[in-house]
Amino acid sequence: MLIVIVLVAIAVWMYLDTKARGATQPALWAIGAVLLAIVVVPVWLIKRGPKSDAAVGMKRCPFCAEAVQGAAIVCKHCARDITTRGQAA
């Protein structure tokens, strides 16, 4: 019974982590964790990338490509206007 609880906890964690990082098909990773926990979990830990900017409320500055807050009007890195009015110029 304890093994089932641990596998379900791993599957839920893997699904949420995959979704937060913007990866595709988080449900398949979760199912894989339950079916092949010994193989899939280490592979996922190696393969997973950084969290996506969209998942943490960030956007990219169109001028310097640095990540800035989603509600930012001026880029904190290059000090340029990043609103739609600023991009039209």
- Residue 7 pLDDT class (50, 70, 90 cuts): confident
Query: How far is 16 from 2, CA to CA, in rounded Å?
Result: 21
Domain boundaries, the chain: 2-47, 57-87
Query: How far is 40 from 32, CA to CA, in rounded Å?
Result: 6
Whole-number pLDDT of residue 53: 59
H helices of 23-73, in order, are 26-35, 37-47
Q: Is the pLDDT assigned to residue 70 strictly greater than 70?
A: yes
- Residue 88 pLDDT class (50, 70, 90 cuts): very low
Instruction: Give me the phi and psi of 64, to 5 degrees please.
Output: -110, -5
- Residue 84 pLDDT class (50, 70, 90 cuts): low
